[in-house]
Amino acid sequence: MLKNPDYYSTIQIRVTDLDTELLPEIFFQQGCSGIEEVNENFWKIYFKDLLPNARVERLLSRLFALNPSLHKEDIKIQRQMTRDWLAEWKEFFRPLKIGNHVWIYPPWEKMHTSEDDIHLIIDPQMAFGTGHHETTRLMIELTELYLQPGDNVLDVGTGSGILAILAKKKGAGQVCASDIDPEAITNARHNAMLNHVNQIEFIEGDVDKIPKYEHNLILANINRQVLQRLLSDLVVRLCAKGTLILSGLLEQDESIIIKEISSSLSLVEKRKLKEWRALVFKN
């Protein structure tokens, strides 16, 4: 089925009787763009295209395997007009402060904060990364902590470009941001313009499209299956004494990633937020 640019899909699901630590991985494996935790009982899952029947069947199969007593009435799959995307996000996307100095807000909000604060203006469109998801928050906190002025930074799976833009505003030197989704790259460039940030090199494609020069800091907020495939490519692009920060990981993913990378890099920090994990490695 070809992607229809006029529609996207949402799934609203009751999560009361589901393992919410395993649930996000199921949706991200099927290509979801974001997860909104509406309340403690319901989640809303966003997909950038119309879900073909085969993907719906795979999703339902995984969900019923997670809880065989799940009722079909607990899962509501809808197609939405793309033009309604912004209206939904205007209700959901409010200014957000992360750490002591980072404010994230959409272009329709006006912010008046202290001059020490870092402002990240993110137009949500259809790309992942507004700061509301736990993995993005973890990555922002750790980027603030480990980034040194002048560092060469690589942001893999950039989504909305939020981490690359933050790195540049924090004084990074050369910043490269990649994503396999052309819409994400378009959105990331748009967000860089909104933030008056230039000199970020945006690359559409996988890590093998990125030149193998050495980076002081590499950021990758991607699910565990993709990270496992990319680990060796990331390590060879890290300079001596460089830092690799990974997220998009659930608790059960942590030991798998640490084991695979321990022969190359040293683990220096672990952080968690709800069911999500972030890992920091040093060369």
Residues 80 and 36 in one domain: yes
pLDDT of residue 72: 81
- Looking at residue 221, which CATH number applies to its domain? 3.40.50.150
- Which of 21-30, 49-58, 146-155 is the least confident region? 21-30
Asked whether residue 268 is assigned to any structural domain, the reply reads: yes
Structure tokens at 171: 């004084």
| Mean pLDDT value across residues 259-273 | 95
| Mean pLDDT value across residues 14-22 | 83
Query: What does pLDDT average to over the chain?
Result: 86
Q: Is residue 36 scored above 50 in pLDDT?
A: yes
| Mean pLDDT value across residues 139-156 | 96
Sorting pLDDT into bands at 50, 70 and 90, what band is 166? very high
Q: Are 164 and 190 in contact (CB under 8 A)?
A: no
- Where among 88, 119, 135 does a domain terminate? 88
pLDDT in tens, 184-235: 899 899 999 999 998 899 999 888 888 777 899 999 999 888 899 999 999 9
Q: Are 204 and 210 in contact (CB under 8 A)?
A: no
- Looking at residue 34, which CATH number applies to its domain? 3.30.70.980
Q: Are 237 and 210 in contact (CB under 8 A)?
A: yes
**Residue 204, SS3?**
strand
Of residues 100 and 154, more confidence is placed in 154
Residues 17 and 157 in one domain: no
Instruction: Give the strand order in the sheet containing 7-14.
Output: 34-37, 42-47, 7-14, 75-81
**Closest of 54, 1, 31 to residue 126, by C-alpha:** 31
In angstroms, the CA 154 to CA 158 distance is: 9
- Angle in degrees, CA 155, 139, 115, rounded to 5: 95
**Residue 146, SS3?**
helix
Q: Is residue 50 scored above 70 in pLDDT?
A: yes
> Which DSSP symbol is given to 205?
S
Residues 207 and 68 in one domain: no
pLDDT of residue 170: 95
Asked whether residue 217 is assigned to any structural domain, the reply reads: yes
Residues 241 and 139 in one domain: yes
Residues 125 and 253 in one domain: yes
pLDDT of residue 84: 61
pLDDT in tens, 52-67: 888 888 888 889 888 8
pLDDT of residue 128: 63
The two counts, helices (H) then strands (E), for the chain are 8, 14
Residues 142 and 75 in one domain: no
**C-beta atoms surrounding 110 within 10 Å:** 7
Q: What is the pTM of this model?
A: 0.76
Residues 122 and 153 in one domain: yes
Asked whether residue 1 is assigned to any structural domain, the reply reads: no
Residues 162 and 217 in one domain: yes
User: Domain limits at 104?
Assistant: 93-282
Asked whether residue 187 is assigned to any structural domain, the reply reads: yes
**Residue 226, SS3?**
helix
Q: Are 35 and 27 in contact (CB under 8 A)?
A: yes
Q: How many structural domains are present in the chain?
A: 2
- Angle in degrees, CA 233, 195, 171, rounded to 5: 55
In angstroms, the CA 35 to CA 174 distance is: 31
Residues 111 and 220 in one domain: yes
Length of the chain (residues): 283
Residues 157 and 264 in one domain: yes
- Where among 55, 73, 88 does a domain terminate? 88
Asked whether residue 122 is assigned to any structural domain, the reply reads: yes
pLDDT of residue 4: 44
- Where among 53, 69, 88 does a domain terminate? 88
Asked whether residue 221 is assigned to any structural domain, the reply reads: yes
pLDDT in tens, 86-105: 666 666 677 888 988 899 88
Residues 184 and 116 in one domain: yes
Residues 107 and 65 in one domain: no
